[in-house]
Amino acid sequence: MITIPRLVAIAAAASVLAACSGKAPDPVPVTAPTNAAFTYINNLDVMTSWDPATSYSNEGIATNNLYEQLTRSDPKTNKVEPLLATKWAASADGLTWTFTLRDNVKFTTGNPMDAAAAKAAIDRTIELAGGGAYIWDPVKTITAKDASTLVFNLKYAAPLDLISSSAYAAFIYDTKAATGDLAKWFESGHAAGTGAYVVDTWKKGTENELTLKANKDYWGGWTGVHYQTVTFKVVPQETTAVQMLQSGQGSFMPSVSSALYASLKGQKNVTTEESPSFQNMLAMLNTASGPLADVNVRKAVAEAIDYDGIITTLQGSMIKATGVIPPGLLGYTEEVQPTTNAADATKLLTAAGYGTGGKKLSLVLTYAAGDPVQETVVTIMKANLAAVGVDLQGKALAWETQWDLGKSPDAAKHQDIFLFYWYPDYADPYSWFINLFHSATPPYFNLSYWNDPAVDATIDGLQALTATDRPKASQQYVDLQKTISDQAVTAVVGVTNNRRALASTVQGYVDNPSYGNVVFVYQLTPTG
Amino acid sequence: MSGPVPDLAPLATSDASIMPGRRRSWLWPGWGAAKRVPLLVAGLVLSALIIIAGVLAPWITPYPEDAGAVVHPTQALLAPSAAHWFGTDIVGRDVFTRVVFGARVSLGIVVIVLVVSAVVGLSIGLAAGFFGGWLDAVLMRVTDIFLAFPALLLSIALAAVLSPSALHAALAIAFTWWPWYARLARGQAASIRRQGYSDAARILGASRTRQLVRHVLPNASTPVFVQMSLDAAGIILTAATLSYLGLGAQDPTPEWGLMVAKGQPLATTAWWVITFPGLAILVTAVAFNFVGDGLQSVFDPKRGRR
Amino acid sequence: MSRYIASRILQALGVVLGVIVMTFVIARLIPGDPAIAYAGPRASVEELAAVREQFGLDLPMWQQFVSYVTGVLHGDLGISLHTKQPVTSDLIQVLPTTLVLVGIALVFAAIVGIPLGIAAARWHGTFGDVAAKIIAILMVSMPVFWLAILLQIVFFSRLGWLPVAGQYDSAYDSISPLYTVIGVPVIDSLLTGNWPVFVNAAAHMILPVCAIAAYPIGAVAMVTRGSLLENLGEEHVRMVRALGFPERAVFGRFALRPSLNPIVSLIALVFAYALTNSFIVESVFNWPGLGSYAVRAFVSLDIPAILGITLIVALLYVLLNLIVDLAQAVIDPRVRA
């Protein structure tokens, strides 16, 4: 999942292949430091959770360098590539999947990564049922047939090779890493994966929050030139972050706002990358309590927002959204267009008893402090709503605090509007619907607090339907988006257009929208 | 602590030394005296210009609607030009208009803080100094506790508790500012009492309240007035800092500190967005400091020898 | 003398108690349920109850107050909602960094501000005096957040002379690893003789130190000047001058020395101001001290941390005031009266 704008992903497809088959990449003919350090500059705290089973927030940028999945997907080529599994096959009915695991891979704890260990990890993730664990819903049983053969029996057909490449909840980790309470052991800053890096230091709340160092026993080997350490630096001020990048103190910024991005183009020690993403910004409207519980008031708010104006003002940081699903995914539709109609909004508000002669409508919106894009969107929304007589109060909070208040069991603490980002766990729209629009008590990411049993039932069947009848599933997604739009459950502000900035010493970066803001550092080549 | 220190006086530790309890006429010593202090003249002129600009803002700015909740998506981040003297901000609002309107917000905060803290501080300080005894001891210990918190810090803690707005920021600042007036007034009242002319009044049968109003208050008012002029700059800076931290005025209020905060991500690319509001804070604080410093030297020529 | 010291210390203790009461009152004013903020997202009603019990949030107000005071006296300021660590240990970690920064800024302010004030008084009434005065007023009128950003733009973006943010370049970790002594790179590198890191860390300090020092420089210069002029106007100084002592002796021996007293008492005031200004400067320069910790606590609604910071800064301030008062009592017996 994704909540915040700055995460990333990349991998030169070629180098993925080379790495996955255990071949050393060709030596790079440049002088490269033997102890090169990669510095990822993030505007928010990195680690909110360490447990690879339940982690479901910004820490994905780090965990995807500590852990590996069975497979890795590349939505640009529409292919699934080998990672811990070297090959896989599905039965004709799609209900049995057999994965062959890579030999001689060890967890950083020293224990072997074999079929039994992989089964134990996925079983634990399913059992804990937190974070993105829903991805395994189609799985009935997992069997370790022999040390390198893992067999999944499914309840219904599902694209398991794609599911097993998820950015969250699909990690293969050592369940025997700790003798006591494993979850506690993880949360104290430990990892037990097979990735190219291991945890060096973790100091929560400090500038250099997390440093990783090379996992000397990594199955991919360390021949060739690779980064030996990875530092995740928390720099809330974007200007400072950009200046650090220019001065060589940083290697990568996942998201740069328009004005700065323009200024970075053509600079010699910085390169910029622009690519479409699967991430969109949503304003979740509180359907359960407060003034927005009235559907007409929600509609008025949604119609008051000047979507085109926001896109224009952001100068390329976002593109216009149609419906909840971004372009490039199943169920994307242009039938659900956001409408801006201040006159109609005013009419709806008057009918609901607000505005001239009625009550004054005041709404609270929460958003993440430190994101200039959200900041700008809030400024515009305030003006748009003021134009129809609604007073919008924007509260900038640390992401964790914003989310904690939003998912509080006490509805009195809930905001009227929750502004945030979402991206899918794998290249499929299901993530939005199961997380954002399916009911859940206490709330987790369903921050509109929407509860419609008919919609829940449709969502529950969609994963299976996707595997058996894609056109029908696509139609259901379109219908759901129409319902969401009719009920004004959320206002989709726009789809993020990724604008990354890298130090020009970093070679080999390729954006992979399936993994949000993750950088697979092992695949990069340091130069200079 | 002594000497002409703009807006430092509220931080003073020792009440007796802030302002010696000299009798002084509250009457304006006249333009002649002021003219001998060029910085005072400069400060008065600048302050007057700022106040006039604030008052006349709706009539002298080109786009008065930009001070409120409007956006112009196609006008975002235009560099300074004839149409937009100070350029436009990230949502296309005219920076010049917002800077001029900002004077209203900042001056409003200054007035609220000064009035509230002077009224509260004077009442407490005069009561303590005039009546003395246990009342004095209790009131002054309470004052000491407030003084133990650096003003900005207590304002920050309070502003974090209250929902942020310009009014709440002003009240939070006043909450930390009154003790300085209490100390000042107490020192005045006590010294006047010691000087004995209220004894004389007492002998003549004046009531306590009458003594307080007729003799102590007027004698305390000159240093208080000077102090207020010295404090104005400090209040402007504190309010701007609170807004910068997101604990004061909220968008779309055209508050200078807030404008700098919102423009910070653009500092290297759209310099005008932070430069002009920042300059406005600086110029206003300088103007008030010139006035405060100059008034002090006029009313207290010994220490303000020029 | 000892009576004065005793009463002054007693008075300071009273203020400390008042400060503790006040932080508690502020804490109770804060809306929102600290239990939810701490127990986190998926906490059940039972878990919340457990957290309330653990932190005594279910007790009557007066009991909460007693346990709060007892805790503070034992150095227990609660658990930060944001770092999930004890606030005390967080503060111990960030405080040295900030104190070093503020300390260096104040020393710098004294080195620049006192001579500036002396020069202005010495050449009183000249153009130089007026210029010095205007400079000093500019310094005390400068919005510190704006100054910090301007310094970054000028000395990093435009000129490229100084580093933009942070304490030192992490690249040195592999070239010349730094050993931690007190946790402040510039001091640690000095103590361990790690010159490459020291030079780099010192360069990183220049801009934040300048930003913090601006106000103290102006204040120190004005107080020095004002105090000197006042003393020069005193009867005894005029008499000495009339007796034909050289101007330098008049100035140095009879005017300057007594003028130092107000400057000493200024230290406590300026320290408090510099400390709160460091909050803003640290966040602009990404300096991992008390200020960055505080700014993060604000956006996290981390009440225990905010109160811990308020308390620790107030205590530092009371302590410094006490030291200054006692020092002055020793230097100048008149103060005791």
Q: Which residues of A touch C (CB under 8 A)?
A: 35, 37, 39, 130, 204-208, 229, 231, 235-237, 239-240, 243-244, 247-249, 369-370, 396-398, 400-401, 403-405, 407-410, 413, 442, 444
Helix axes B256-263, B95-131, angle to 10 degrees: 130
How many other C-beta atoms can be found within 10 angstroms of the C-beta atom of residue A161?
A: 21
C33 contacts A413? CB cut-off 8 A: yes
Q: How far apart are CA C101 and CA C109, in angstroms?
A: 12
Burial of C280 (0-12, 13-18, 19+ CB in 10 A): buried
Please check whether residues A245 and A282 belong to one and the same domain: no
pTM of the model: 0.81
Residue C104: pLDDT over 70 = yes
Give me the pLDDT at residue A16, please: 33
Place of tokens 């979850």: A183
Q: Tell me the nearest-neighbour CA distance from A310 into chain B, angstroms.
A: 7
Angle CA(B166)–CA(B167)–CA(B169) in degrees, nearest 5?
65
DSSP C334: G
Side chain identity at residue B57, one-letter code: A
Closest residue by Cα to residue C98 from C285, C329, C256: C285
Give me the pLDDT at residue C335, please: 55
Residue A45, domain member (yes or no): yes
Residues of C whose CB is below 8 A from B268:
153, 157
DSSP A411: G
C188's tokens: 């640690």
Give me the pLDDT at residue C21, please: 85
Residue A31: pLDDT over 60 = no
Which among C300, C303, C309 is the top mutation candidate for probing chain A, defined by the most A β-carbons within 10 Å of its own β-carbon? Answer: C300
Residues of chain B with pLDDT under 70: 1-36, 150-151, 159-161, 192-217, 219-220, 300-306
Closest residue by Cα to residue B219 from B179, B185, B255, B252: B185
Number of domains in chain A: 2
C87-302 fold:
MetI-like fold (1.10.3720)
Residues of A whose CB is below 8 A from C283:
236-237
Give me the pLDDT at residue C321, please: 82
C157 contacts A205? CB cut-off 8 A: no
Nearest CA in chain A to C45: A409
What 3-state DSSP class applies to A34? coil
A205 contacts C82? CB cut-off 8 A: yes
Count how many Cα atoms sit within 13 Å of the Cα of residue C2 in the half-sphere of its side chain. Answer: 0
CB nearest to C266's CB, from B1, B4, B158: B1
Q: At a CB cut-off of 8 Å and minimum separation 6, what does C321 contact?
A: B13, B148, C12, C268
Angle CA(B66)–CA(B70)–CA(B76) in degrees, nearest 5?
80
Q: How far apart are CA A443 and CA C337, in angstroms?
A: 66
Does ipTM top 0.90? Answer: no
Q: How far apart are CA A84 and CA A327, in angstroms?
A: 30
Q: Which chains have at least 3 CB atom pairs separated by less than 8 Å from chain B?
A: A, C
Q: How far apart are CA A11 and CA A79, in angstroms?
A: 13
Please check whether residues A215 and A171 belong to one and the same domain: yes
Q: What string of DSSP letters covers C239-252?
A: HHHHTT--HHHIII
Q: Tell me the nearest-neighbour CA distance from C190 into chain B, angstroms.
A: 32
Provide the residue range defining the domain that includes A516.
20-251+505-526
pLDDT digits (tens, 9 = 90+) for A461-482: 898 888 888 899 999 999 999 9
Give me the pLDDT at residue C11, please: 83
Please check whether residues A174 and A37 belong to one and the same domain: yes
Query: Any chain A CB within 8 A of the CB of C163?
Result: yes
Q: What is the CATH number of the domain that holds A519?
A: 3.40.190.10
Cα distances from B72 to residues A174, B6, B75, B262, in angstroms, run: 55, 41, 5, 16
Query: Any chain B CB within 8 A of the CB of A411?
Result: no
Q: Tell me the nearest-neighbour CA distance from A250 into chain C, angstroms.
A: 10
Give me the pLDDT at residue C60, please: 75
Give me the pLDDT at residue B17, please: 31
How many other C-beta atoms can be found within 10 angstroms of the C-beta atom of residue C107?
A: 13
Please check whether residues A228 and A323 belong to one and the same domain: no
Please check whether residues A483 and A345 belong to one and the same domain: yes
Strand (E) or helix (H) holding A319? strand A318-319
A207 versus A495: the higher-pLDDT residue is A495
Residues of A whose CB is below 8 A from B90:
259, 313, 376, 379
Domain boundaries defined on chain C: 87-302
Q: What is the CATH number of the domain that holds A431?
A: 3.10.105.10
Please state the rounded mean pLDDT for residues A318-335: 91
Closest residue by Cα to residue A231 from A428, A27, A392, A39: A39
Residue A271, domain member (yes or no): no
Please check whether residues A299 and A171 belong to one and the same domain: no
Residue C68: pLDDT over 60 = yes
Residue C263: pLDDT over 70 = yes
Strand (E) or helix (H) holding A440? none
Q: Tell me the nearest-neighbour CA distance from C172 into chain B, angstroms.
A: 28
C296 contacts A205? CB cut-off 8 A: yes
Give me the pLDDT at residue C178, please: 73
pLDDT digits (tens, 9 = 90+) for A380-401: 999 999 999 999 988 888 888 8
Q: How far apart are CA B264 and CA B244, in angstroms?
A: 10
pLDDT digits (tens, 9 = 90+) for A57-114: 889 999 999 999 999 988 777 789 999 999 999 998 889 999 999 999 999 999 999 9
Query: Any chain A CB within 8 A of the CB of C129?
Result: no
A206 versus C312: the higher-pLDDT residue is C312
Please state the rounded mean pLDDT for residues A355-368: 86
Q: Tell me the nearest-neighbour CA distance from A32 into chain B, angstroms.
A: 32
Q: What string of DSSP letters covers B81-116?
A: -SS-TT-B-TTS-BHHHHHHHHHHHHHHHHHHHHHH
How many other C-beta atoms can be found within 10 angstroms of the C-beta atom of residue A327?
A: 14
Q: How far apart are CA B119 and CA B182, in angstroms?
A: 9
Q: How far apart are CA A394 and CA A386, in angstroms?
A: 13
Q: How far apart are CA A360 and CA A85, in angstroms?
A: 60
Place of tokens 């007066």: C62
What 3-state DSSP class applies to A231? strand
Please state the rounded mean pLDDT for residues A483-506: 93
pLDDT digits (tens, 9 = 90+) for C122-162: 888 788 888 888 999 999 999 999 999 999 888 877 787 87
Residue A178, domain member (yes or no): yes
Place of tokens 């350090």: A37
Give me the pLDDT at residue A310, please: 93
Q: At a CB cut-off of 8 Å and minimum separation 6, what does A520 contact?
A: A9, A10, A11, A64, A65, A512
Comparing A263-267, A522-526, C257-261, the range with the smallest average pLDDT is C257-261
Give me the pLDDT at residue A167, please: 92
Please check whether residues A28 and A105 belong to one and the same domain: yes
Closest residue by Cα to residue A483 from A501, A520, A503, A458: A458
Q: At a CB cut-off of 8 Å and minimum separation 6, what does A153 contact?
A: A95, A96, A139, A140, A141, A142, A143
Supply the mean pLDDT for chain C: 80
Strand (E) or helix (H) holding A450? none
pLDDT digits (tens, 9 = 90+) for C178-187: 777 777 888 8
Comparing A34-43, A122-131, B228-237, C255-264, the range with the smallest average pLDDT is C255-264
Please check whether residues A336 and A300 belong to one and the same domain: yes
Q: At a CB cut-off of 8 Å and minimum separation 6, what does A487 contact?
A: A287, A295, A298, A450, A452
Do A292 and A269 touch, CB atoms closer than 8 A?
A: no
Residue A21: pLDDT over 90 = no
Residues of C whose CB is below 8 A from A204:
83-85
Q: How far apart are CA A505 and CA A502, in angstroms?
A: 8
Residues of C whose CB is below 8 A from A237:
165, 283-284, 286
Please check whether residues A410 and A437 belong to one and the same domain: yes
A231's tokens: 């530092």
A 285-324: CB under 8 A from B: 306, 308-310, 312-313, 315
Q: Which residues of B touch A (CB under 8 A)?
A: 68-71, 73-74, 76-77, 90-92, 163, 246, 250-252, 262, 264-270
Please check whether residues A245 and A288 belong to one and the same domain: no
